[in-house]
Amino acid sequence: MDASTRNLRHVRLIEDIRRRIDRVMDAIHRVTTTKGQMRDGVTEMKCEIHSGVSSQLSAICDREAWLLDQVDRQCQLKVDALTTQGDSLQQSLGQLRGLLEVSEGHLEAGADHTEGVDSHIGHILERFVSN
């Protein structure tokens, strides 16, 4: 093998190495670019997830506040109704105690005076039964 053939083979070998170096450098560049794109994509994806979850949490918190307010309102309505009912019962109790006192007073006064009072008391008691 003469020197020019060896030089030609050596030149071809160098060209082959340079082509391979170019391909490897191109591959390294693509890998670097892909890594950057992945980082950007991950950052964007995280932002979208955070935004979506934050929106849902906000909606859940708003719903929670509304429901708690509804519970408070319903409780207040029931407390008001029970207070009214309790006041009415207290009034009825006072009237019945007064009626009992009058009835016992007439009973102690004697049987002659109780007939008209008994009829009146019966009418009053019928009102309590119908309420």
Q: How does pLDDT run across 16-46, given as a tens digit for each residue?
A: 999 999 999 999 999 999 999 999 999 999 9
- Encode 22-58: b = buried (16+ Cβ within 10 Å), e = exposed: eeeeeeeeeeeeeeeeeeeeeeeeeeeeeeeeeeeee
- pTM beyond cutoff 0.75: no
Say what the pLDDT of residue 112 is.
60
Rg (CA), the chain: 49
d(CA 45, CA 74): 43
Mean of pLDDT values over 90-113: 81
Which amino acid is residue 72, in one-letter code?
Answer: D
Contact 103, 121 (CB under 8 A): yes
